[in-house]
Structure 1
Amino acid sequence: MSRRTRLSDARIAAGYSQEALAEQLGVERTTVQRWESGASTPRPFQRANLATALGLTAEAMEATLGLTPSRPQPFAGAEPSPLLALQSVERGRPAQPGDVLGLLDAARPLIDNTLGATSLSPRRLELIEGRIAEHLVTYTRTPPVTMLSVLATDILEIQAMAAVRQPAMVQAKLSEAQAILALLTADALMKLGEIRRARYWYGTARLASDDTGNLHLQARVRAQEAMLPYYYGPIAQAVELARSAQALLPGVASETTALAAAAEGRALARLGDAQGAEQAMNTAQRYVDQADSLGSPDAAFQFNHKRLLLYLSGTLTYLDQPARTQRVQEEALQLYAAQPDLVTDPALIRLDQAVGLALAEQADEACRLAMNVVTSLPAEYRTRVVLAKTHDVVRALPEGAPQRPRAELTELIATQT
């Protein structure tokens, strides 16, 4: 069997056209054609990238290319080879100075090749960054289950790229992309009530963000992760995560620190710390006023005035300030009404209203509003996070409340789980 057949068969089995494989490896299509025809042989670092792309071991790659590894043999009159010098050192016999220099001479180009190796062209990196930006814009308008299927493809593709040694700048960009995709995945799983899986993906997002050195991204991951314990408990953990996010950017006014402060305030209110909640929300308001909003105002992880009102709604509901709470909620719902494709946030605000009614001992009205919110949502948006918030309404009902509305709301939650 010719090299052309072996290499082309391996490429086809891996699902690549010549053009796609060239793009993956950062080479020209004609280069792949020459490899398959036997006109040229991939360099060592190219063979490593090629093996990764085709899913082959190093040995299988050598065999596919028709290469037979050979061991250097000394002969009379030859200078000692760097390999033999290394072997002599390994056996405990010191190498001569000339041998060591030869070893260093041989090692240097190998290191240069490794550092210069990349399977990712600048154009491919631009395409990845473009897709990430698109995901951030569409995320808030896409059901979580649908979004997960979209994210999975890019997660696998970028992981394959990151597994190959890349230059530091490229690797940092890939780690940033991995962090964002992991964070979107964790958030979607959180909404679906997949608590364990969400926690694991938040952990992955942390690892990837920490690999970038980007403090804003590291803080963003921790601030977003605070939503998991806020909705599913323990709430004190939400405070810890929100504070750890702010500690990464002390005194910095940004959308990230505004989100972290708002997350802290909302959680403190649930824990009964009214003074701490007010202080945190004041900080969040100040940061929102000072921060420069970039990108789409309703993209995932953007924290603007409208999102601040969502967090204020949750905070004030538990601070026993009905008049102020009503003003905030009405303003928020009016802003969200201008964009009907944003579904989950206004539903959560209305459920805050239902919690407020329950705390005010208006049980019938609270249960009626909560049931209307849930049943009016499209089925794909009746997620566990919405049901968790609906269960907060049940918990807020006074003990002496009529049993029928409580039972009906509890049954509705059960049928949607």
Structure 2
Amino acid sequence: MSPRRDMFVEACKRTGYTIDSLAAALGVDRSTVSRWRRGQTPQAAQRLKLAEALRLSLPELDELLEQTAPPTSTALSIIWPMRSPAEGDLLARLDQTRLLVDQTLSKGLGSVTRLELIEERIGDRIDSYTHTPPAEVLDELMPDLLEVQQLADERQPARVQERLSTATAVLGLLSADALMKLGEIDRARYWYGTARLAADDTTNGRLRAQVRAQETMLPYYYGRLQRTVSLAQEAQALAADTVCGASALAAAAEGRALARLGDVEGAERAMATAQRLVDRLDEPTTDAAFEFNDKRLLLYLSGTLTYLGEFDRARHVQQEALERYRSDPTLVIDPALIKLDQAVGEAIDGDIDDACTLAVGTLLDLPADHRTRIVLKRATDVVQAIPTQRWERPAVSELRELVAPKSGT
């Protein structure tokens, strides 16, 4: 898990900077500041500006950036018996202790201050999500979920309760999506349910639509395609006539599922709606979680055109998408899914050896902690697109062996 630079965060607060205001002052993206907070080292040219903004000398800044947390106090060493730092329960004990301390403080400082800190961390999680392996995401989310639960357990004013429900919905969505990628289907389904309950406890129609739009991916990859269509239509109804990322995602999800169900007219109509909404979006294009934009639409068009049998159009879209994703090599899941769409199309079109070679290469190129069940499931779709009488071909056998469930998993 990437270390959180608590002393750096405190220095920013002391000088009055939020993530957004510091990014604006330094002329960098918000996600860049978020990465600094999680442990990435600023470039040399950025360090000088950063030191000036935080009113520090360069040696002071370097010392601060090396720290991830204040030193352990004598009191803690008395409370906790001496243990090897490698033992897994050490950080868990630290998290539990901090939660108890914060819970006590919140009674005097008020829930709003504590909630603001939670919301700030959630912003960091959203920014880093698409770059982070799902198991690491879940590890990072757990303390936030526990803290929200503890705060929600106390009676709160209506405005605070609305914000708590929003925080719970977002954390639930991140958890559900990470579990889905890992292939933990039942757990993912439960967490999507939690996110939906929390979102429905708010007056935010966009959030309620977003939860359902995100959930469409679970039945698309692992369940019933008709369920994807139902969720997508429900999300669009909740968004009503609002032009937002959630309604665009929902339309794209509906189109992709309808294409796989063989509904050509419905798929083309839904994709036209998604394109129209994306063209009207007045939001910055980022790779943060839950952002839907023209780049992400290409992923959905890739699958839609593949299952419509529009292989030439699909290849054009896939080429454009992969070119755009190439600018950030830390984004690996979406490009892998696009390449597997290509492989499915080649398999359907009869290019069996090429399809298997592409799928195998895609899987092996992925970092091990991103080679999760959702990617293997999509690679299995390549095998399923090949007539069973051709499964004994060497290329198909290699792919089947690679995607076969391992014993004990």
For the aligned pair, the TM-score class normalised by the smaller chain equals 0.7 to 0.9
* Equivalent residue letter for 1:131: R
The CA deviation at 1:322 is: 1.5
Which amino acid counterpart does residue 199 of structure 1 have in structure 2?
R
Conserved in 2, the CA contact under 8 Å of 1:193 and 1:384? yes
Letter in structure 1 aligned against 2:189: R
Match of 1:163 in 2: 153
Larger Rg: 1
Q: TM-score, normalised by structure 1?
A: 0.72
Equivalent residue for 1:359? 348
Partner of 1:253: 243
Whether contact under 8 Å (1:350, 1:370) holds in the other structure is yes
* Equivalent in the alignment of 1:203: 193
1:310 is aligned to 299
Secondary structure of the residue aligned to 1:165 is coil
Out of 309, 314, 318, the residue aligned to residue 325 of structure 1 is 314
* 1:384 matched residue in structure 2: 373
Contact 2:179 2:185 in 1 (8 A): yes
Counterpart amino acid of residue 250 in structure 2 = A
2:315 counterpart SS class: helix
Shift in alpha-carbon separation, 1:396–1:173, aligned structure 2, 3 A = same
Structure 1 residues 230 and 16: alpha-carbon distance in aligned structure 2, compared to 1, 3 A threshold: closer
**C-alpha offsets along residues 255-295 of structure 1, whole Å, 9 cap, x if unaligned?**
1100000000000000000110000000000000111114x
User: CA 1:235/1:17 → structure 2, altered by over 3 Å: closer, same or farther?
Assistant: closer
1:62-99, CA deviations, whole angstroms, 9 ceiling, x for partnerless residues? xxxxxxxxxxxxxxxxxxxxxxxxxxxxxxxxxxxxxx
Give the secondary-structure state (helix, strand or coil) at the position aligned to 1:164. Answer: coil
Aligned-partner Cα distance in 2 for 1:237–1:18: 42
Structure 2 residue 295 is matched with structure 1 residue 213: no
- Change over 3 Å in CA distance of 1:156–1:16 after alignment to 2: closer
User: How far off its partner does 1:213 sit?
Assistant: 1.5
Residue 57 of structure 1 aligns with which residue?
none
Please tell me whether the aligned partners of residues 168 and 195 of structure 2 are also in contact (alpha carbons under 8 angstroms). yes
Letter aligned with residue 339 of structure 1: D
Aligned length: 313
Partner of residue 129, structure 1: 119
* Displacement of 1:414: 1.4
Aligned pair in 2 of structure 1 residues 354, 167: CA closer, same or farther (>3 Å)? same
What are the within-5 Å matches in structure 2 for residues 202-241 of structure 1? Answer: 202-241=192-231
- Residue identity matched to 1:225: E
**Deviation at residue 26 of structure 1 after TM alignment:** 3.3
For structure 1, which runs of at least 5 residues remain unmatched after alignment? 1-8, 28-118
Identity of aligned residues (%): 56
TM-score normalized with structure 2 length: 0.74
Q: Distance in 1 between matches of 2:99 and 2:348?
A: 63
Over aligned residue pairs, what C-alpha RMSD do you find? 1.9
What are the equivalent positions in structure 2 for 1:112-127 lying under 5 Å apart?
119-120=110-111, 122-127=112-117
Q: Hey, what does 2:76 align to over in structure 1?
A: none
Q: Tell me if 1:375 matches 2:364.
A: yes
Cα gap change, 1:129 to 1:413, in 2 (>3 Å): same
